[in-house]
Amino acid sequence: MPAQDLYSSHSASATGQARRLRSVTPSDTDELEFVCSGVVCGAGGFLSIVAVDDSLPVTLPVVAGQIYPVRAKAVRATGTTATDIVALIS
């Protein structure tokens, strides 16, 4: 039996719950498939991330399991030590 979506009548928003999840492989050249509304890492470290309106990455310290609400278009390999990165897409 398919899962019932009790939230199907609610509109999507950048601050709402994620509707898609994507595993992220950091890359120094590629962007994400979709601009995300947040990221979470399974293992902490540093995350080199490019926000949607920026052109250069910023490296942030991150802890495992914490959701970071940032609209990002890329996660760069250089400077990223965190692993098991998941993009949250609203």
Per DSSP, which regions of 1-90 are E strands?
20-24, 38-43, 45-51, 58-62, 67-68, 72-76, 83-89
Structure pTM? 0.86
Instruction: Count other C-beta atoms under 10 Å from residue 73's C-beta.
Output: 16
* CA neighbours closer than 13 Å in the CB half-sphere of residue 14: 10
pLDDT digits (tens, 9 = 90+) for 59-73: 999 999 999 999 999
| Average pLDDT of the chain, as a whole number | 92
